[in-house]
Amino acid sequence: MKRVDVGKWLLLSLVLAVLALLAACGSSSPTVTSVSVACTPNTITSGGTSQCGAVVGGSGNIKQTVVWSSNQGSISSSGLFTAPMVTSQQRPVITAVSSQNSAQSGTYQITVNPTGPSITSVSVSCSPSVLQSAQTSQCSAMVNGIGNFDNAVTWSVSSGSISGSGVLTAPIVPTNTQVTATATSVQDNTKSAFTTLNISPAGTVSSVTVSCALSTIQSNQDSQCTATVGGTGSFSPAVTWAASPGTTTPSGLYVAPTVSTSTAVPVTATSVQNSAQAGSATVTVNPVAAGNNVVPVTVDAGPTNSYVNGAFASATICVPGTATCQTIDHLLVDTGSAGVRLLASGAAGGELGLALPQKLAPDGNPLNECFPLADGFVWGPVAQADVMLDGEQASTLAVQVIGQAGESSVPGTCSNGTTDLSALSALGANGILGVGLFTQDCGTACTQAPTNVYYSCPSGAACHPITLATTSQVLNPVPFLPGDNNGVLLQLPAVTPPGATTLSGTLFLGIGTQANNGVGSAAAYTTDSNGNFLVTYNGTNYPGSISSGLNANNLLNSTTVPQLPACTGNFSQYYCPASTQSISATNVGINNASSPITFGVDNAMDLFTTNPTFAVFPTLAGPSTAVPQAFDWGLPFFYGRNVFTAIERANTPLGPGPFWAY
């Protein structure tokens, strides 16, 4: 047995310890520096799957585990991606995050195609892309897709016109102008493309002449002016308008200011293409003649601060034959109905506090009325009152008191499932000033058989419908004025969209009876016995009427006018097109007088939410509730027009009523 060399052993142990120490000092903690991701296959269809994998890079003893996620579809913890259902090509992003270091991640995009043929892109080109006014350019579209897709497109152009085959006709422009031509896939209207063309003017402008429909008007009235531009070649007919004093719209409507003396106003049109060429016409503005037939009108949010397009006026109401009177403001001016209707104070929320004597039914019981409106009904007793409009009084007039406390309950035949508007919160006005075409509110229809309009209301018993002579019905106040009693003129200035907070106008009593209610160049559109003329739209005739009591132009429905979808929810009584729509129709009187009407329709929800302080909206429209379908022109029709309402059988300078004229 050998003897152990203790010195060598100690030396070896020391060396081994030093080596272990050096090994320990040279090691470090694992570090993740990258994550790379790949998926196979990289193109799949709706609902398909792709297996994704991740490689984690770094130093030391790093972990290869990751956390998976995707911005579309779903992915399992093992990296199996399931595609979403798509109608067009999508590019979901797959993300893998290191479980060891969440700051390190990698991504990968997978292409997901619909199961059927799909459109991926559209490209457009036009040749030539530089042209002059009225010249043409051939545009073409390239549609790309997957599968047996449809390569058809629809064409649109920002200005000028373009045919279905892509032939673009440049607009006539006064200055260098850019025009965009857009092709949209028929199969997938989310896929489109456009190109820009440069248009330059052609031809020369040598003259501008101006004429105005009314050469003499009064303060705050208007006159439509037109300009004729002369020249050679494809010159631009565009002009700019100016007048002082007063204002002009881009379409040439001159609106006079308030003047105290007769004032000659030049209305001037200047060529946009050649500002050296201009023309003018003179409109003489006279002060409004003093009279007692002028009723101020205000379009505002009403007593509830929530009304839109409501024209309101005031009237003084008196107990018949006495000086016990009360002025009621914010009565809704309505050229589509007849009769004064006053909302009672108290629970109904109105202003009328007078105790007016109630009329009796033929059987001696109290007489009540259920008056139908476009969106419901109002209920209340028929009473008598002296009604004063400006300085003229209709004496002992049959009126309706709405929502009077202690009155009989609304009969079921009256409500018939419709909305009771007999309170301020529902009606939005302190009453209605009905100055429409007819003398009575129901006429002969209520004399022949009970029509659920007039009711006899015995004490302690249910009310029942009755017939009622025309002389006992609620009456239009205008025919019973001592003068200016053949109709009314409602005058409101033009409004530029989207609208305004308030608007001031005038209700003139009488037609052609004083200097301030002359008919000028207005044309009459006579109606039938129901108060309708015809409105022609797309070759079809519909019943038509003009009612300032409607807060929108109510026309047809979305089935007949598909470009005007109805709004949803609380706005379903209005239209909500995706963009401003221009609608054209023609009013045709029973006397065959006709005039084309073009008006804009905007999205009601956008109008209200974007302009919360506005009460005046000239482009507000909605579907008609009439059966059959109809065109019911509401207050927007009145903006910028002088609209006359002639009472049935009353003589006017335009002939006997009933008619509307403008």
What pTM does this model have? 0.64
Quick check: 8 pLDDT over 80?
no
CA trace torsion 543, 548, 553, 554 (10° rounding): -50
Which has the minimum average pLDDT: 40-49, 110-119, 433-442, 558-567?
110-119
Best mean pLDDT range from 22-26, 85-89, 331-335: 331-335
The confidence score (pLDDT) of residue 28 equals 58
Give the mean model confidence (pLDDT) for residues 586-611. 97
Could you check whether the bond before residue 303 is cis, i.e. omega within 30 degrees of 0? no
- Which CATH class name applies to 491-661? mainly beta
Q: Which of the four pLDDT bands, split at 50, 70 and 90, describes residue 25?
A: very low
* Count of CB atoms situated within 10 Å of the CB of 322: 9
Both tokens of 504, joined, read 């001031």
The confidence score (pLDDT) of residue 234 equals 82
The confidence score (pLDDT) of residue 12 equals 44
Cβ neighbours for 102, distance < 8 A, ≥ 6 positions apart = 67
Give the mean model confidence (pLDDT) for residues 198-227. 88
Q: Which of the four pLDDT bands, split at 50, 70 and 90, describes residue 289?
A: low
Picking from 458, 489, 92, 53, the residue whose alpha carbon sits closest to that of residue 288 is 489
Cβ neighbours for 228, distance < 8 A, ≥ 6 positions apart = 208, 209, 210, 211
The confidence score (pLDDT) of residue 290 equals 62
Report the alpha-carbon distance of residue 373 to residue 453 in Å, rounded: 11
The residue ranking higher by pLDDT, 571 or 4, is 571
Give the mean model confidence (pLDDT) for residues 399-415. 93
380-403: pLDDT as tens digits? 999 999 999 998 999 999 999 999
Give the mean model confidence (pLDDT) for residues 495-515. 94
Quick check: 228 pLDDT over 80?
yes
Beta bridge partners of 240: 270
Please indicate whether the domains covering 118-200 and 204-286 agree at the CATH topology level. Answer: yes
621-639: pLDDT as tens digits? 999 987 779 999 999 999 9
- Give CATH superfamily name and number for 118-200: Macroglobulin (MG2) domain (2.60.40.1930)
Mean pLDDT of the chain: 92
Q: Which CATH number fits domain 294-480: 2.40.70, 2.30.230, 3.30.1660, 2.60.40?
A: 2.40.70
3-state helix, strand, coil in the chain (%, to 5): 10, 45, 45
The confidence score (pLDDT) of residue 20 equals 47
Q: What is the largest CA-CA distance in the chain?
A: 152
Report the alpha-carbon distance of residue 213 to residue 519 in Å, rounded: 12
442-474: pLDDT as tens digits? 999 999 999 999 999 999 899 999 999 999 999
Give the mean model confidence (pLDDT) for residues 520-545. 96
Cβ atoms of 51 and 82 closer than 8 Å: no
What CATH number labels 204-286? 2.60.40
The confidence score (pLDDT) of residue 85 equals 86
Q: Which of the four pLDDT bands, split at 50, 70 and 90, describes residue 18?
A: very low
Instruction: Tell me the DSSP string of 417-456.
Output: TS-B--SHHHH-SSEEEEE-S-SBSSTTHHHHS--SSEEE
SS (H, E, C) 76-103: CCCCEEECCCCCCCECCEEEEEECCCCC
Q: Which CATH number fits domain 34-113: 2.60.40.1080, 2.60.40.1120, 1.20.1540.10, 1.10.150.20?
A: 2.60.40.1080
- What ranges do the domains of the chain cover? 34-113, 118-200, 204-286, 294-480, 491-661
CA trace torsion 421, 425, 427, 429 (10° rounding): 150
Cβ atoms of 430 and 314 closer than 8 Å: no
